[in-house]
Amino acid sequence: MRPRPRRLRTTPAMRSMVQETGYTAGNLVLPMFVREGIAEPEPIASMPGVYQHTLESLVREARRAVDAGVGGIMLFGVPEKHDATGSAGVDPNGILNVGLRALRDELGDEAVIIADLCLDEFTDHGHCGVLAADGTVDNDATLEIYREMAVVQAKSGAHMLGLSGMMDGQVAACRDALDEAGYPNVSILAYSAKYASAYYGPFREAVDSQLKGDRRTYQMDVANRTEGLREALLDIEEGADVVMVKPAGSYLDVLSDVAQTSTVPVAAYQVSGEYAMIEAAAERGWLDRERTIAESVAAIARAGATIICTYWATELAERMKSV
């Protein structure tokens, strides 16, 4: 496998998003949710101001974000039906892939379109992979589905694939599948240090999660610091173009470790629980909302993140534009 640094230079939006110095709107990524079978955007109760979108509202709000200067859109799909293998995730006509095509048709190369590559939104058990007979997640069987998802998402217009499942070997498997299918310029963002965090609670509502049990056998122990760096280095060795630490705010030490060592850009995801806590406290008048948002994102940049995924991306970009 040959390294391809040029994957991160393919478009102006890609170059802006991975720029190493400073913190601009171009470094921000907006996570968005598109839901099958709804006629109007559905508000997410635990995340005020965030919605499950129709295709039409998805395109409209993505356009608003990009016009404000946001560098990337990260898309999650919410299907009507779930099954044991998450088949809606590999269906070219599944909601996530249809949403990717709609975004690419609207935005072209103006922003980096990132597809969430995982099975948790699509399975009836809510895990990030398929289950073995004993009920555990089958790592290697899951990789075969990830390979298929990678190619379908690339065909649907994704510039970058966000590998969020924390399966061992997922980067190498998807990189090989993309290269074999003729998509050598589609890049990979590896969720390298993804912790089994309590901060994901509101996200479960956002994607209508069917989770039974927990994900501690594949997501990382919240007490472990050096393991986060090890995971990132393994993903870089497998060919990741970007590595991620998730959540961001409670793991700034891990983020700093990875940023000081990584030879590729480093992303951090300010997750749903981080968003919900600030919004709830601000609504009660306990925090200055705008200052707290700005401070929380500045801390993530200060710790070394080149790319910051945040539900406030559009708001922050519009603030920067108005200054």
How far, in Å, are 53, 67, 234, 305 from residue 49 at the CA level? 12, 19, 37, 25
Give the separation between CA 279 and CA 288, rounded to whole angstroms.
10
Which is the catalytic residue, given 81, 155, 194, 321?
A: 194
| 42 φ, ψ (degrees, to nearest 5) | -105, 120
Which is the catalytic residue, given 81, 212, 246, 321?
A: 246
Q: How many distinct helices (H) and strands (E) make up the chain?
A: 11, 10
Give the separation between CA 316 and CA 323, rounded to whole angstroms.
11
Specify the DSSP class assigned to residue 69: T
Q: Cβ distance 20 to 260 under 8 Å?
A: no
- How many C-beta atoms lie closer than 10 Å to residue 183's C-beta? 18
Amino acid at 196: A
**Does residue 212 have an active-site annotation?**
no
**Does residue 246 have an active-site annotation?**
yes
3-state class (DSSP) for residue 153 = helix
Per the listing, tokens 């590595």 go with 243
Catalytic residues: 194, 246
